[in-house]
Amino acid sequence: MITRIGTYLPVWSGRGGRQAGPDEDAITMAVEAGRAALGEIAAEDVRLVVLVTRDFPLMEGGNAAALLAGLGLPRSTDVVERVGGAPATFDGLTAAEDATLVIGADVSGAAGAAAAWNGVTGGTLSRLARVHRSLPLRARGQDGVVHEDEDPRLQRERGLRASLEESELPGKPISVAGLSSRDAAAWCEGRPPELPTTGASAPLFALAALAELRSGGIVVAVDQATMSAGTWEPGAVVVHRQEPRALESPTRRATPGPEIKLSFAAYDRAFDAKLRWEAGACPTCGTLAFPPRFRCLGCGEEGSVTLVPLPRTGTVYTATTIHVPVPGLSSPYTLAVVQLDGVDVRALVPVTDTVQPSAEIDEPGRLVFRKMATRSGISDYGYAFAPGGGA
């Protein structure tokens, strides 16, 4: 049963919907949606994470470790990475057992992410039909190039209509995820909820809207000629939306030049503390250090430390804006020293989600999981400061 749903939309507006920021990708958005869905769910209670997207940063491993770190889940948690759109996420939802977190994330096109936590109470999504048909009007080949043939009539008649007829549904759906709101209305009973995305996250946005409306019925997820359908019975579902007001994307300058190579030794050494947002606690006096230190700044004790989670909210202690161009980074950009709430720790982080690259002293906000840079083809993740909480 679906107990909790979390949604996330990037702050930047774009053509046809929201667009991912320069420091966002499928993993960072999946983290935002997943944390919104989990809420106060204990990390040890999550047995499986299913991530569906067409925009994995790495196609040969490495996504799961960063995803679990951002979500604050143990490294032993099972993760399924599935390439696909709306039907793939729908299948993940109908097959999910208790203690499963299902996430859909979309970067290309209208960007956004959503996640559902399956518990013992909430709404029920039961499978009705599944139809696999091949109509690859848009596909990415082994050459990495997206091949696209725009033919709306063929998509509608030989794609969706033929699949719906073959599925023999007992009635008209109340929502069709994977289509624009205008196109979905032609197939639905009544007025379907408007969905901000049409990819892997769309079914989750649909269920979030239906849960808020306390509306039940047939829900369909489509992707070209493939479709999945099920019956949604709303229950007591908690919906948490992380959907800030849309802002116009600012003009940024990209500087050409050789990219900064990734030091894999430094990457490995800093991975856990940086991505899990943890400080080293001295076992003798309890003094916190971020990043962790071998020698305690409080009592001078040397040796191993215990990693403890840091707060994800704070206020700006000081900030500066850098206009000097750096290859691989868009400029100008702002760095802030943030005083974290409730602990004696300050962190140096970039500022994000603001039209003007600046931050005011004493301005509150939250620390969000973001992509710092792409080095040697690898996404280098960390945390950035979103003024005002990013909401």
The predicted-structure confidence for 327-351, as pLDDT tens digits, reads as follows: 777 888 899 999 999 999 999 999 9
- The pLDDT-based confidence of 391 (bands split at 50, 70, 90) is very low
**Quick one: pLDDT at residue 390?**
43
* 217-240 mean pLDDT: 93
Residue 163 has pLDDT above 90, yes or no: no
> What distance in Å separates the CA atoms of residue 332 and residue 326, rounded to the nearest whole number?
10
pLDDT at 27 over 70: yes
**pLDDT at residue 228, rounded to an integer:** 94
Q: What is the pLDDT of residue 133?
A: 79
Above 90 in pLDDT, residue 28?
yes
Taking 80 as the threshold, does the pLDDT of residue 371 lie above it? yes
The full set of domains in the chain, from first to last, is: 2-248 (3.40.47.10), 253-277+312-390 (2.40.50)
pLDDT at 157: 66
**Torsion angle (degrees, nearest 10) of CA 57, 62, 63, 65:** -150
Say whether pLDDT at 96 is over 90.
Answer: yes
Cβ atoms of 106 and 112 closer than 8 Å: yes
CA–CA gap between residue 358 and residue 342 (Å, rounded): 24
For residue 17, what are its two tokens? 């919907």
Summarize pLDDT for 168-197 with one digit per residue, the tens. Answer: 889 999 999 998 888 888 889 889 999 999
pLDDT (0 to 100) of residue 34: 98
DSSP of 56-93: -S-SSS-HHHHHHHHHT--TTSEEEEEE--HHHHHHHH
105-115 confidence digits (pLDDT tens)? 999 889 999 99
Enter the tokens of residue 299. Answer: 């009592």
> Which amino acid belongs to residue 246?
A
Mean pLDDT of the chain, nearest integer? 90
Looking at residues 89-94, what average pLDDT do you find? 96
> Does residue 63 carry a pLDDT above 70?
yes
Task: Give residue 389's pLDDT.
Answer: 53
Alpha helices by DSSP H, listed for 132-234, are: 152-154, 162-167, 181-185, 202-213
Q: Is the pTM of this model over 0.85?
A: yes
| Among 131-140, 204-213, 369-378, the least confident range | 131-140
CA distance readout (Å), 213 to 210, 233, 239: 5, 12, 11
Each residue's pLDDT tens digit, 241-300: 999 999 998 777 777 777 777 778 877 788 888 899 999 999 999 999 998 888 998 999
The pLDDT of residue 83 is: 93
What pLDDT score does 15 carry?
84
Question: Is 364's pLDDT higher than 50?
Answer: yes
- pLDDT tens, position by position, 312-331: 999 999 999 988 887 777 88
